Chains A and B, each alone.
Chain A
């Protein structure tokens, strides 16, 4: 169950915003896509799921377990989403439907892909809530998103993504909107769950410090191109491209600030 992206390009209204990037996520691997905002990393993630906004078009090749995803009919494509490949979004405040209970949202993908009953879906939702270590899972599934804290909401988003036991989890800056302490908790939880399930992880971030905690390999993007790629320790110890060096400076600056305060 590997993901192979070859020469992926994304054009929006004729402008190439992602310009021929290639990378690979072997089964069970943890890859990080890193770059400044506007480098095309989030669009790449959306392209993998076939969820590009209207007017954007992806060309090149995205192979999931040998199957070409680009150009696949939408109906078949949808059957992969949430089931084989799942995604966690950046902003936990808006990634949950404000008027549906947490439990129903967690079990949503299971209800779609497995066609389970309502009672069974609730049982799964409670189990998933427990797995992401939400307090009082049996009660929290009846709550609404606005009754939860930011960290708890991101746990719910994580539970939603994991409910169907996907083989690949795409996490688009899942901790950026959170406090530093909550960030660390969520990262630790995410890693533990990915390890337990043996799934692959594609982690998108602008923070090299975060990347070093979650991924073994990193791909550095700038203006829709890959400027550097390799094992994370190498990116940290011997960054060759100016962009990587800049990201490293930012990361160390954060560490220093964190140490001083």
Chain B
């Protein structure tokens, strides 16, 4: 709760929170209500411009673009949250294995991380999709594992640094078991770095879903997706340039909001940054994922 209040005080945090909350709200509303049925085809209302009753206009088959974007938010959130969950589990596991285990497993995992980082996530997702067929789950797992590796790469050395700090030793001297030390001292101390990475990971997942769906490797044609919508509308960009603006804007705004939210979260969760920027924790930019 305190973190949330602190988040609200920074302008970037406020922007990120508002936009992300708005998208979540839109997705929830779309479950119960959309202005039009996003699947209903109305050949009498093709390519309408923004206006009433189609606020953002219609596409080549007369579907309402606002309704399509609203239901598309569900897909976006599903992919972002799913990829973040996979990345968290996989990232923590890999970082912990690479930092806290005996020497030879530690070194082996470090090498494994370096190798895995080199794999282009999007290409692998496309490969899997072309062999077994594309789906949103492929996107979730591919981006989740791919970004989990990135998170592990950044978190592992930090975890090692914290593990060798005096307060972890003091914790052990107080009788903490390794697991208690992990949950009370180690993970909370790497959390700021982790959270920024994760918010970037979510942004990457949103982009990846849009990109893969755009290319036909992600969402099924029957599923609502901003990327899919973008690719459909983009074919007519010279004739109807305004319609393609909306899914593009939705994607951009979401990615921007997630990035800003991550930065603000990092500052809000790190008490040493609260009173003037003392000992700033350096964080690396995410590696190239595609």
Contacts and interface: CB of A to CB of B under 8 A. Distances in A.
Interface string A76-88: 0011111100110
B271 A112 contact: no
A144 interface: yes
A9 interface: no
Contacts of B272: 98-99, 144, 146
B60 interface: no
A95 interface: yes
Interface string A96-125: 111110000000110011000000000000
A98 B172 contact: no
Interface in B268-290: 269-272, 275, 278
Contacts of A147: 275
Interface in A28-63: 49, 51, 54
Contact of A51 (B102, B167, B173): B173
Interface string B109-135: 000000000000000000000000000
B175 A89 contact: no
Interface string B168-207: 0111111111001000110011010000000000000000
Given A112-B180, A146-B278, A95 B175 contact: no
Contacts of B189: 97-99
Interface residues of A, number: 32
A95 B170 contact: yes
B61 interface: no
B266 to A, nearest CB: 12
A94 interface: yes
B134 to A, nearest CB: 42
A109 B166 contact: no
Contact of B173 (A75, A87, A100, A144): A87
A89 B170 contact: yes
A247 B198 CA distance: 54
A180 B113 CA distance: 48
B43 interface: no
Q: Kindly list the 3 A-B residue pairs having the minimum CB-CB distance in the complex, ordered from nearest.
A: A82-B175, A82-B174, A109-B174
